Structure 1
Amino acid sequence: MNNEDFNYIPRSAARLRNRDISDQHKALLKAGNPAGAADLIKNRPDLEAFSASLFNFIEQKLVFIEQQLSGKTREIYNVYSDTEPSSEEMEGKFFWNKEY
């Protein structure tokens, strides 16, 4: 997996340094108007705010990982027993789990 596999365009984040805009943003969110809050900081290069591009990027990575893992078979590397397992029992295994 390399950087060419994903399209991430960084945007700014809700670390609003302008006090007036920050207060307006919080008031809009508190009033139940997330669209208005998003419009307030949208297309404002002077502000720093996370946008959907970050979450889309994370989603792309998760989907990619899910596709890679879906073709693999589950292998169990643990042995569960109250007594120490023999070498034959540990063949191909890495961990011995004992309940306390």
Structure 2
Amino acid sequence: MKNVNVSNATTQRMHPHKFTLWIAMGSLIMMFAGLTSAFIVKSNQVGWKPVSLPNVFWVSTIVIVLSSATIIAAQRAFKNRNLATYRLLMIVT
């Protein structure tokens, strides 16, 4: 009978959720790259009208940034067991 070497090397598999996250991120990057290249090509054509952003865009951006800051501060307050500050920041968010 022949001697058979069996390797004890284990293969590590990626968790399905992590794999799905990587696929989703790759898809979003590809979509963003495609839209950016389409914008660049289209903006160099004759008859292109410049796009101006509405004021509501800037307002919503400021609201999102402030909300992100308050949620981070609330998380820190929760970790420090400061529940009164945590509740206040969650209400503000």
Q: TM-score, normalised by structure 1?
A: 0.27
Q: Which has the higher strand share?
A: 1
Q: Which has the higher helix share?
A: 2
Q: Which has the higher contact order (CA 8 A, sep 6+)?
A: 1
Q: TM-score, normalised by structure 2?
A: 0.29
